Amino acid sequence: MAYVMMWMDKRAAIHRKSRISERTLFIFAIVGGSLGIWLGTRVPLFHKAAKSKFTIGIPIIILIQFGLIFYYFSYK
């Protein structure tokens, strides 16, 4: 779902239409769509790839999520 949102926002940017806010994209990343958002910054979209919020922030969210998952399953 998050990857599709990145694709939709990229198309909206190209066609100068209404965009999906960065805040919304980050909310989707935090609630579990971080890999989709990260993939959207890579080939073939390269959407938001130049923004440090996305090149640094999304991988940090991914690491935190993986850490939480590891912690949950290790100490359950």
* pLDDT at position 50 over 80: yes
In order of 31, 33, 49, 68, the CA distances from 10 in angstroms are 21, 17, 11, 31
Nearest CA to 11 out of 57, 36, 45, 39 is that of 45
* Average pLDDT of every residue of the chain: 95
In order of 11, 18, 28, the CA distances from 36 in angstroms are 16, 21, 9
The structural domain count of the chain equals 1
* pLDDT at position 76 over 90: no
Q: Could you list the residue range(s) of the whole structural domain that residue 49 is in?
A: 2-74
Average pLDDT (32-51) is 94
Assign 43 a pLDDT band (cuts: 50, 70, 90): confident
Average pLDDT (16-31) is 97
Q: What is the pLDDT of residue 75?
A: 82
